[in-house]
Structure 1
Amino acid sequence: MDILFYAVLGAGMGVLGGLFGIGGGLIAIPALGLLFGLDQTLAQGTALVMVVPNVMLALWRYHQRNRIDPRHAFALGAAGFIFAWLGSMIAVGLDAKAMRWGFIVFLILLAGFNAWRTFQATPLAVGEMRHGWPALAALGGASGALGGFFGVGGAVVATPVLTGTFGTTQVVAQGLSLALALPSTGVTLLTYALHDHVLWRMGVPMSVGGLLSISWGVRMAYALPERALRRLFCLFLMLCALLLAFKA
């Protein structure tokens, strides 16, 4: 029954991961803390077991619907990989309670930035990339470092920057962010696992559930209007922050 519950939980998170292009880790981390009492570091490591395969499948689904430029993906992913490893090495040695409050602040700042971007009276992006490889590599490094530190892969950081600064649409940004998240979540999971911050018996069933449902979330992302998807993303970030605050 526990395995079935974990799989159902993973399925729900998979839908959200596909919808927002984040692999489901943002909701998994506070949920694991609230439902099972895991500390922040253990919740982040366990969530990554689900996030890594979810990101792989979601990336493929986004690429099928809207081809991801491999040059852009490589610039983001390579820098993200290196800095995610550095961020995860720092995270595994920090106090779990301090990490949780840091994550709450991180989510609130991201939600505020997204809200400002969503409700300002400026034209929506048309999908053209305004900046080249150096800027993408810098974004990949910064997002990877934060993703490795907080166990979320960096996609949640890269998505609003890609729409606001690089001029991409929301779905293009989410696809590119998944390309960034794939190598960074992989190296972050490895780091957490080597330091015994992963509950595999929980994470593996969650990953199975997520793989079965994440494609539905991707379909929903392409069906929603651009502005509605951005607003949902803001609300999602605030919900995650509130869930973590209850636990903290």
Structure 2
Amino acid sequence: MLTTLLIYGLVGAIVGILAGLFGIGGGLVIVPMLIYAFSLQNIPHELTMHLALGTSLASIIFTSISSFLAHHKRGAVHWDIVKKIVIGILTGTFLGSCIASLMSTNFLKIFFVIFLYFVATQLLLNKKPKPGREIPGNLGMFATGNIIGVFSSLVGIGGGTLSVPFMLWCNINAHHAIGTSAAIGLPIALAGAIGYIFNGWNVANLPAYSLGYVYLPALFGIAAVSILTAPLGVRLAHSLPVDKLKRIFSLLLYVVATKMLVSAL
């Protein structure tokens, strides 16, 4: 068990830095690492993707708190945007977990791979949406929150890869978009974790120490370390050439996506 916790602690260290640095919540890294770790533990294949998604979202609860507090201290969180979008985020993310519970591991894995390729290409090309409008009204933000929530739940992320471009499009500067995205990641993580716990509650053959589709040893290991490293990622975001680092990270995502695709097929 100690070795298991150390492995998940290492995952948490990487996830925390990425959450603060890119505002991505870490799920893009957590999910592939959890799938690999679960296979080493001989967890049934048909459960690995659901457990990875649920555990990823549960761990982002802790990562997002640490990350958005660090951004808040720098005045980079638009709380008015968070208030407008939060209801849609909560309903969409819970709905996404219900949809995921009906899908097979291979379907969810291929869906995740497609999303990884999309994000990797977006990071590599560094194409940012041109500011074209202001933040929508309440109905528009509710709809946007639902879309971000559903997709985030299906791929186990904190929503940054969707919410950051949306805010850039709405004339929010990059640092504030990342900070606000980190705050939006908390309701995504809460609703997603509750949804995966609820939908996995009576599922057979779950590993010991599971709470629905949330695997507690992985959750504790990742959360304990990511809380410490997320503020470091925030400091790096304000001092390093983030655009260059994103291109390097995109190449890693291509490799991870390709490996997952091969295993799924």
TM-score class, shorter: 0.7 to 0.9
Partner secondary structure for residue 131 of structure 1: coil
- 1:30-179 to 2 correspondence within 5 Å? 30-37=32-39, 39-116=48-125, 118=126, 130-134=134-138, 135-163=140-168, 165-179=169-183
Q: Partner residue of 1:192?
A: 196
Preserved CA contact (<8 Å) 2:58 2:189: no
**Which AA in structure 2 matches 1:45?**
G
Q: Partner residue of 1:203?
A: 219
Partner secondary structure for residue 223 of structure 1: coil
Distance 1:233 1:8, change over 3 A: closer
For structure 1, which segment, 215-224 or 128-137, has the greater mean C-alpha deviation from structure 2 after superposition? 128-137
**Which AA in structure 2 matches 1:31?**
M
- Residue 20 of structure 2 corresponds to residue 4 of structure 1: no
Preserved CA contact (<8 Å) 2:66 2:227: yes
Preserved CA contact (<8 Å) 2:78 2:176: no
For structure 1, which segment, 10-19 or 81-90, has the greater mean C-alpha deviation from structure 2 after superposition? 10-19
Partner secondary structure for residue 214 of structure 2: coil
Partner secondary structure for residue 238 of structure 2: helix
RMSD: 2.6
Deviations along 1:93-127, one digit per CA (max 9) or x if unpaired, are 210111000111122123334444x258x9x87xx
For structure 1, which segment, 88-97 or 15-24, has the greater mean C-alpha deviation from structure 2 after superposition? 15-24
Give me the whole-angstrom Cα distance separating, in 2, the residues matched to 1:87 and 1:11: 27
Gaps of at least 5 residues in structure 2 are 201-211
Partner secondary structure for residue 134 of structure 2: coil
Task: Pick the aligned partner of 2:231 from 185, 200, 215.
Answer: 215
Give me the whole-angstrom Cα distance separating, in 1, the residues matched to 2:185 and 2:248: 20
Give me the whole-angstrom Cα distance separating, in 2, the residues matched to 1:198 and 1:150: 14
Percent identical residues: 26
**Which AA in structure 2 matches 1:131?**
I
For structure 1, which segment, 102-111 or 219-228, has the greater mean C-alpha deviation from structure 2 after superposition? 219-228
Q: Give the greater-gyration-radius structure (CA).
A: 2
Preserved CA contact (<8 Å) 1:114 1:160: no
Q: Partner residue of 1:17?
A: 19
TM-score (norm 2): 0.81
TM-score (norm 1): 0.86
Give me the whole-angstrom Cα distance separating, in 2, the residues matched to 1:16 and 1:98: 26
**Which AA in structure 1 matches 2:178?**
Q
Gaps of at least 5 residues in structure 1 are none
Q: Partner residue of 2:208?
A: none
